[in-house]
Structure 1
Amino acid sequence: MSGSSESPQRDAGGTEDPVDPRRTTAVPFIAAVTVIVVILVAIVVSSRLSPADENVTEADRISRSVADFIQAHNHDDADLQKTLVCSSWSDDRSVLRDREGEVTLQGVESSEVNGDRARAEVRVSADDGKGETTDTWQLTRDGETWVVCN
């Protein structure tokens, strides 16, 4: 069988059978498993070198504190609210004092950090017919988190 790309094999009767070119091999499977293992190792190594907690920006922390405060306000959770505000907090000066119904955070437009103090432009809406409003919120750093002040 010169000129044929198939290698002949002999069966028990001594006749030659060409090798089936559609015969599957383990090479593609092994290659796929190797690629998956390399990807998983890369994910594990990158998570060890740069944990998600270290990738959180001050703007992210401020946004989280604002969202937590609004959620505590909506649920009338006074105990939780006390942990989210600074010691000089006064409900009478709250930026949400004139809003009625459930308040929805539309976004923290910008935040400016100056040491342990920050200001954020916070856009909210409520079920009170007043539409969206944007106010400047004052925050103070308390450890790794920010608390709302007024």
Structure 2
Amino acid sequence: MDSMVAANSSFDESVSKNNSSDSSSSAAKSTTRSIHYDKVDLETFATETDKYIGKNVETSGEVAYIQKNPDNTDIYYVVILPKDDHASSGYSYGTVTEINMDTFDETNINEGDNITVKGGALTSTIKLNGKTLKSDIVVDSVSVN
């Protein structure tokens, strides 16, 4: 009987240790979730894309075009341009954002909306309407302004 009590006590200590390491692991995970995004205006991001590759960025623009990714129907391509830029100068610069379908649907994004996106910056990864685009943001979060 004493050996069973000792075994149970040892088991309880092991569970307690695992639970405490799980909580410290959870605390570490929640700390790493706090991602820093460099705020950058859309013109700077679109014209100096190489400076931001692999970094987390936050930028805003007006939704000019929305298309489902033909290779992955869970992703929408959303082209954003500086507000009123496309009306005055004919698309001088902008970027494509890749937005998960669930996020897209929850946020209710439409052409003409002014949105702010936060996500990871890439370059030359998307082909849209036969052109390889210079800049791309894989979106972590989006808000309609």
TM-score of the two chains, using structure 1 as the length reference: 0.34
TM-score of the two chains, using structure 2 as the length reference: 0.35
Bigger Rg over Cα: 1
Compare relative contact order (CA 8 Å, sep 6+) and give the higher one, 1 or 2. 2
Structure with greater strand share of residues? 2
